């Protein structure tokens, strides 16, 4: 080893994140603690990842048991918890088969690959393009970054991977541009999370799905953030009356352990055969045990019904605050994925919430993103609303700050 003494003026970790000025060391349920012992109500859920809260007991128990048996063996062998989790996902959706990987970006990469392979297998070799939408976010790999419809994500990384076109969300006229003879798939978020919490319209999605079916264009839904109960159903598509051809999932699927999944209907899934795609770590026994325990909790503990009730109550209270305070412009979202558009930039609001020991996120410069754990009790939601009201009163000069 070299004897050179390196400067400690900068971190050894690359500066790829704008980190908040706290260090979290412990979490349980809806709460996290920093290295000074200060407790925070975590309404970020690890960016929609800890849907069952931090360190949920049933997942902890399952993972602890798996730690004592087998962590990794590669996908050259059958992995029983992988088969079980795939069955749980397909039994509770309109899909037939699952490919497991390690992240949302990888799941979207898999979806993009299978769409192109499906076109080739179907004899449509000229179909090489995928339509996505302005303000979308699909990942930060070279290809998923190109699929993302945000110029700020592209900046500095040109030339981008070719083969993507961006159309405006919820624009009926734009639907006429979907099929230009080269389109093999449409990739859509039903709620644009990073792009500002913009839900797709029900009628627009219905027309898009009908168009895709008519033109034999695959409809791929990116449910990385909306899936695993976040919107009140296992997947958000269930609320839109459609059946997509492919869907991607990640984030909350294993309660914080790294996982990704691409689900497809059989006629699409058969385009992946040995050698088409793969992953060293994807679907390993340890992570699959966490995913299986997560699914069991989501499906068996009446959480989804509670999510819908909590979301309706929270949305109503936020609308009341909007009527009372001019600092709020709009409330939007689906389930417990909520965007609050403010009249000013939200950096100061995030800091103010943190001073009240509540963690929230941004979704763009002027949108607060609220992502409570699905298991958050009503008392915590009430505390959040009361804290928000106090901040609004201080902002608008109704009480002394």
Is the domain of 349 the same as that of 271? no
pLDDT-above-70 percentage for the chain: 97
Cα dihedral 141, 145, 151, 155 sign: positive
Among the candidates 280, 300, 320, a domain finishes at 300
Q: What is the full DSSP assignment across 216-234?
A: T-EEEEE-TTTTTTTTSSS
Q: What is the full DSSP assignment across 342-374?
A: ESS-SHHHHHHHHHTTEE-EESSTTEEEE---T
Instruction: Determine the pLDDT at residue 301.
Output: 83
- Alpha carbon distance 259, 195 (integer Å): 22
Residue 2 has pLDDT above 60, yes or no: no
Structure tokens at 243: 């059946």
Question: Do 22 and 34 touch, CB atoms closer than 8 A?
Answer: yes
Instruction: For residue 41, tell me if it sits in a domain.
Output: no
Instruction: Determine the pLDDT at residue 397.
Output: 85
pLDDT digits (tens, 9 = 90+) for 78-90: 999 999 999 999 9
pLDDT digits (tens, 9 = 90+) for 329-382: 999 999 999 999 999 999 999 999 999 999 999 999 999 999 999 999 999 999
Residue 145 has pLDDT above 80, yes or no: yes
Residue 4 has pLDDT above 60, yes or no: no
Any idea what DSSP says for residue 1? -
Is the domain of 215 the same as that of 67? yes
Region 40-61: what's the mean pLDDT?
Answer: 98
- Overall number of domains in the chain: 2
- Alpha carbon distance 362, 369 (integer Å): 5
Instruction: For residue 37, tell me if it sits in a domain.
Output: no
Region 377-397: what's the mean pLDDT?
Answer: 96
Is the domain of 194 the same as that of 216? yes
**CATH assignment of the domain containing 361:** 3.90.1150.10
Q: What is the mean pLDDT of the chain?
A: 96
pLDDT digits (tens, 9 = 90+) for 243-272: 999 999 999 999 999 999 999 999 999 999
Instruction: For residue 50, tell me if it sits in a domain.
Output: no
Question: Do 234 and 304 touch, CB atoms closer than 8 A?
Answer: yes
Region 226-246: what's the mean pLDDT?
Answer: 98
Is the domain of 231 the same as that of 309? no
pLDDT digits (tens, 9 = 90+) for 266-290: 999 999 999 999 999 999 999 999 9
Is the domain of 347 the same as that of 207? no
Region 2-23: what's the mean pLDDT?
Answer: 78
Structure tokens at 92: 């509770």
**CATH assignment of the domain containing 171:** 3.40.640.10
Q: Which domain holds residue 357?
A: 304-369+388-394
Is the domain of 236 the same as that of 331? no
Instruction: Determine the pLDDT at residue 6.
Output: 54
Is the domain of 295 the same as that of 318? no
């Amino acid at each position: 080893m070299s004897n050179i003494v390196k400067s400690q003026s900068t971190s050894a970790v690359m500066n790829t994140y704008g980190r908040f000025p706290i260090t979290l060391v412990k979490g349980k349920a809806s709460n996290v603690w920093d290295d000074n012992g200060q407790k925070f109500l975590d309404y970020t859920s690890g960016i929609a990842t800890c849907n069952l809260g931090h360190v949920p007991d049933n997942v902890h128990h399952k993972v602890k048991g798996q730690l004592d048996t087998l962590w990794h063996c590669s996908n050259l062998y059958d992995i029983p918890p992988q088969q079980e989790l795939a069955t749980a996902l397909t039994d509770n959706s309109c899909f037939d088969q699952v490919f497991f990987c390690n992240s949302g970006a990888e799941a979207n990469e898999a979806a993009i690959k299978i769409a192109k392979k499906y076109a080739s297998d179907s004899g449509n070799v000229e179909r090489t393009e995928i339509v996505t939408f302005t303000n979308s976010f699909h990942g930060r790999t070279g290809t998923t970054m190109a699929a993302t419809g945000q110029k700020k994500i592209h900046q500095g990384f040109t030339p981008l991977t070719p083969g993507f076109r961006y159309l405006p969300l919820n624009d009926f006229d734009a639907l006429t541009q979907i099929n230009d003879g080269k389109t093999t798939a449409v990739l859509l978020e039903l709620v644009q999370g990073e792009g500002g919490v913009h839900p797709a319209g029900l009628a627009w999605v219905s027309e898009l799905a009908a168009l895709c079916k008519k033109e034999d264009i695959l409809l791929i839904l990116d449910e990385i953030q909306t899936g695993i109960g976040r919107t009140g159903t296992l997947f958000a598509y269930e609320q839109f009356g459609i059946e997509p051809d492919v869907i991607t999932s990640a984030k909350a699927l294993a309660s914080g352990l790294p996982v990704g999944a691409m689900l497809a209907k059989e006629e699409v899934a058969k385009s992946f055969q040995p050698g088409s795609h793969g992953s060293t770590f994807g679907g390993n026994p340890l992570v699959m045990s966490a995913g299986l325990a997560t699914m069991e909790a989501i499906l068996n503990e009446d959480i989804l019904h509670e999510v819908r009730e909590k979301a309706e109550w929270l949305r109503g209270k936020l609308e009341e605050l909007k009527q009372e305070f001019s600092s709020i412009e709009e409330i939007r979202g689906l389930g417990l994925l909520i965007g609050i558009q403010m009249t000013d930039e939200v950096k100061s609001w995030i800091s103010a919430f943190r001073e009240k020991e509540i963690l929230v996120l941004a979704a763009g410069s002027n949108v607060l993103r609220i992502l409570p754990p699905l298991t958050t009790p009503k008392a915590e939601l009430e505390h959040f609303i009361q804290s928000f009201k106090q901040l609004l009163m201080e902002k608008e000069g109704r009480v002394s700050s």
